[in-house]
Structure 1
């Protein structure tokens, strides 16, 4: 099992380029697969009459594993990527040998948070995303330390958000708004699991990450100092160290 690939799913509303800072450090030891999710980055949004659902995003991941002829992988994701990872667990648990959950949570959205996502989707469809979405999200996804001292990271995240297709942003926001609670799912998932969270993550804070790690039968928690909600961009060296140090498949 030493050669198990690592599949990492990106956050919202960015794409797989968010993994660029950790790519070099991880690929020295493991095969790394980082797809753009449907409607974001370079992956088109399929035409469908169905309501947006992360179950469809999970089917995309399983289809990719089939295409690459990978029976099992270590599956991970940041924020929305974590939600999709849980949806894959629900759909095809036999494909997941281990989990890496980064700045994410198992609980569903509260009604007001779900409505805020739906409002965001409507605005993205009517106005596009440039000029407002990055400004609205940067204070939430990056720590104050990062925003004050790392202008390169701020601009990278701004550029990633501004470059996303509005239809894909809207689809993902609606899909996340309707996701189920996955706490019981994680409690029944007895595979090696690593939970990483930024110390200053206000969206999915450390106390929630600790609860998630304790819910997982084989969960471990790493808290990254001075990082917010996008630790792979804010503290890539620590994320690399956490994953490589945890890797249990010898």
Structure 2
């Protein structure tokens, strides 16, 4: 991993959250690496551009590349949790020369099944019609967190979901629904990768992590025991240890 020691780490958040999901890991990571955690378009404090195009992670990937341009960064170690991982793989397809390493946390490389795609469309339409407060968190929490998650973590996630702009949630759900299979992109990757998964992840389980590890030419797998899909919130110390133990720091 020589030559990567100066690369910043850019982390992309999960759906339907924003960059505040990284708060529990922010300080210890920032002590060791330059850390960048943007809100994705339409979520958190990031505006939703009017493009007239169908929602696509390709547009969100262009946002990431534009951010790198603004920050004058040629390459970063690019990571993401869940949707953030899907977006990281979209950036890898769009601009592989900007990616110096991958951190794929509780995510998968395969496209949605027809059932999952329909469920995302249902979420998008309900968000547009009813907003998100009062139902989106309740619908997602059982799968996002392990049953042993602390009440504080549950309420933190609930609050983050309730605060998301409905239009951004709808856009992201439709973009996720349309994403392609990314396994070929991972097979073509020439950079080291870290794959992290919660042992009790019900959305992107260990099997999905193993599939990515099998596709990547240089991958390290870390399984965090006793936690679910949102490992940076459920086991921040485990995620920090995994990243810094793998990260190419001299």
Given the two structures, how large is their TM-score scaled by the length of structure 2? 0.98
Pairing 1:200–2:203 present: no
Match of residue 146 from structure 2: 143
Match of residue 69 from structure 1: 72
Match of residue 159 from structure 1: 159
Counterpart selection for 2:14 from 11, 15, 18: 11
* C-alpha distance after superposition, 1:65-111 (max 9, x if no partner): 00000000000000000000000000000000000000000000001
Looking at structure 1, the residues matched to 246 and 114 of structure 2 have their Cα atoms a distance apart, in angstroms, of 36
Looking at structure 1, the residues matched to 242 and 137 of structure 2 have their Cα atoms a distance apart, in angstroms, of 28
Q: Is the 8 A contact 1:9 1:34 kept in 2?
A: yes
Q: Is the 8 A contact 1:138 1:158 kept in 2?
A: yes
Q: Is the 8 A contact 1:142 1:234 kept in 2?
A: yes
Looking at structure 1, the residues matched to 221 and 31 of structure 2 have their Cα atoms a distance apart, in angstroms, of 23
Deviation at 1:248, TM superposition (A): 2.5
Pairing 1:181–2:181 present: yes
Deviation at 1:38, TM superposition (A): 0.1
Q: Is the 8 A contact 1:192 1:248 kept in 2?
A: no
* C-alpha distance after superposition, 1:187-233 (max 9, x if no partner): 11021100000000010001110121121000110000111000000
Structure 1 residues without counterparts, runs of 5 or longer: none
Pairing 1:94–2:97 present: yes
Match of residue 111 from structure 1: 114
Counterpart selection for 1:34 from 37, 40, 44: 37
Instruction: Give SS of 1:144's match.
Output: coil
Deviation at 1:249, TM superposition (A): 5.0
Match of residue 171 from structure 2: 171
4+ residue stretches of structure 1 with deviation over 2 A? none
Looking at structure 1, the residues matched to 243 and 48 of structure 2 have their Cα atoms a distance apart, in angstroms, of 31
Deviation at 1:3, TM superposition (A): 1.8
Match of residue 46 from structure 2: 43
Counterpart selection for 1:81 from 84, 100, 108: 84
Looking at structure 2, the residues matched to 192 and 124 of structure 1 have their Cα atoms a distance apart, in angstroms, of 38
Instruction: Give SS of 2:120's match.
Output: helix
Pairing 1:238–2:241 present: no
Counterpart selection for 1:133 from 132, 136, 146: 136
Deviation at 1:2, TM superposition (A): 1.6
Looking at structure 2, the residues matched to 73 and 249 of structure 1 have their Cα atoms a distance apart, in angstroms, of 13
Instruction: Give the aligned CA root-mean-square deviation in angstroms.
Output: 0.7
* C-alpha distance after superposition, 1:115-146 (max 9, x if no partner): 10001000000000001000000001001111
Match of residue 59 from structure 1: 62
Given the two structures, how large is their TM-score scaled by the length of structure 1? 0.98
* C-alpha distance after superposition, 1:154-196 (max 9, x if no partner): 0000000000000000000000000000011101102110000
Counterpart selection for 1:22 from 22, 25, 49: 25
